[in-house]
Amino acid sequence: MRSFMVGLALAAVACGRGETARGPRVVCVSKQINEFLYDIHAESVLVARDLTSIYPPAITRLPSVGYHRALSAEGIVSMRPTMLLTDGNLGPETVVEQVRKVGIPVVVLTPGSTPDSAQLLMQRLGTEFHHEAQADSVVATWKQQMSDVLRDSTKWAAGRRPRVLVMHFGQMVNDYLGLKRGSTADQIIQWAGGVNAIDSTGGMLRLTPELIAKAAPDIIIATDVGFDRLGSSAKFASLPGVALTPAGKSGHVYRVDETEVMYFSPRTPGVLRKIAEWLHQGASSPARS
């Protein structure tokens, strides 16, 4: 059956080659890259996305080829792409190899793990898809806004630094994960004048009620999928472990879109200001969903 499906895939790719005359047909399985393509008005090259690429909302009108770590070769090939575009966080590897075997280039662009490298990624996309002027314009505005907000961050860092736990719901493991130090979220928390309640570095930590209680965060920031499963700050604050923390007891639980804290983007300056307000000005009153 597998060889039959691969045969169909080869035929589909061969039939789709004529589409290249009308420009690229890109299946992109990276939240950051997809958002950047919309930012520079190059979204017309996209024919499909991964399940987690939901920003901007217009991208949800495109078909999904599945979760970026659990892709299907048939789903990708059925879109007749001229390119599978990724930041390298995709799988399984057998699917990636199948896609290559049927003649679809797999293009890997290094994700922007700092504002500077994210801006370089955007300009690389501008060059790749002939939207250089649009990319340069977005990056120029982004740099100015980052400069302004980082200037303000010095005052946020001067006072008390609340402990902050960012809780992300992992859809692969159906469990809550804590974003460790060194992550994008951690950097935003630092700029906003907080300190990450998770003291280990690198990636994410599977959270248990005991670990959450031990972290003792003053503020909890929950990403959208995990927060929305419960529906309100009060219900989230009642979770095992969370209820024992200063954040749970005071109701200082806030919802954030995953895309706002998992990578840097032109939205980062606004996200940073919002989180700084939660950590300082908003710390005296309960959060609202």
| Dist CA 266 CA 259 (whole Å) | 11
DSSP letters, 242-265, are: GGGSHHHHHT-EEEE-HHHHSS--
In this structure, which amino acid lies at residue 72?
A: S
How far does Cα 288 stand from its chain's mean position? 23
- In the chain, what is the straight-line distance between the N-terminal and C-terminal CA atoms, in Å? 48
Closest by CA to 272, choosing from 149, 165, 178, is: 149
Q: How many CA atoms lie within 13 A of 20 on its CB side?
A: 9
The whole-number pLDDT of residue 22 equals 72
What confidence tens digit (pLDDT) does each residue in 139-176 have?
999 999 999 999 999 989 888 899 999 999 986 677 99
| Dist CA 146 CA 148 (whole Å) | 5
Q: Is 90 exceeded by the pLDDT of residue 219?
A: yes
Q: Is 50 exceeded by the pLDDT of residue 1?
A: no
Q: Is 50 exceeded by the pLDDT of residue 282?
A: no
Place of tokens 């300056």: 269
* Strand runs labelled E in 201-284: 204-206, 219-223, 253-256
The whole-number pLDDT of residue 21 equals 53
The whole-number pLDDT of residue 186 equals 97
Domains, the chain, ordered by start: 2-133 (3.40.50.1980), 161-284 (3.40.50.1980)
Q: Is 60 exceeded by the pLDDT of residue 286?
A: no
The whole-number pLDDT of residue 170 equals 81
In this structure, which amino acid lies at residue 88?
A: G
Residue of higher predicted confidence among 172 and 208:
208
Token pair, residue 215, equals: 């972290």
What confidence tens digit (pLDDT) does each residue in 236-276 have?
999 999 999 999 999 999 999 999 999 999 999 999 999 99
Q: To the nearest whole number, what is the mean pLDDT of the chain?
A: 90
Helix axes 31-39, 115-128, angle to 10 degrees: 60
Please say whether the beta carbons of 170 and 225 come within 8 A: no
Pairing of β 163-170 and β 219-223:
parallel
Q: Is 90 exceeded by the pLDDT of residue 203?
A: no
Q: Is 60 exceeded by the pLDDT of residue 138?
A: yes
| Dist CA 56 CA 267 (whole Å) | 11
Q: Is 60 exceeded by the pLDDT of residue 18?
A: no
